[in-house]
Amino acid sequence: MIAKTLRWTPYERDGVPMTSWAEPVITDEIDDTLRAAPHLFQARVEKAADLRVLIVGRRVFAVRIDSGLLDWRTDYDALSYSVVDLPERLVKALYAVLDHFGLASGSFDLALDRDGEFHWLELNPNGQWGWLEEETGLEMSAAIAELLIQGDLDGHRL
């Protein structure tokens, strides 16, 4: 499995960055010291790629991130990007999550395994996407602006 922080917190100890990313963990490493702070554990997916999916209203922007890294956030220089279309059943499932939480927008992180199956990693209601617009040319900022101008979206929070 992997362990990752619930919130990225940049801090240093003696000038050394102490930020943690997704890291592999084995059962023997899990003991009573976990009581000191919240932890998030997930099954490790043998990934072919990652996906960041920004949904704005009912507009879907899906970007495949290829890196070969366990956690792509550790080396942005190693990343390559491509715009992808998602299966309709997956889009409907992502809409359902936003609808359940009353959100008009959100950034989803998914893993794509070597068999072509998608695995849910997380939903961030305020996830970063700006660099993806620069890398792909997707009009994400315009979609956000349109949503803000439009206002309330069927009772969902902006």
What separation in angstroms does the CA of 30 have from each of 1, 40, 41, 82? 11, 12, 10, 37
Q: Indicate whether this model's pTM tops 0.85.
A: no
What separation in angstroms does the CA of 53 have from each of 13, 18, 57, 84, 108? 34, 28, 13, 10, 5
CA atoms within 13 A on the CB side of 149: 6
For the chain, the first-to-last Cα distance in angstroms comes to: 34
Q: What percent of the chain has pLDDT over 90?
A: 51
- 8 is in which domain, residue-wise? 2-42
The answer to whether residue 83 is domain-embedded is yes
For residues 63 and 117, membership in a common domain is answered with: yes
pLDDT, average across residues 75-101: 95
The answer to whether residue 157 is domain-embedded is no
Q: Chain-centre distance of CA 146, in angstroms?
A: 23
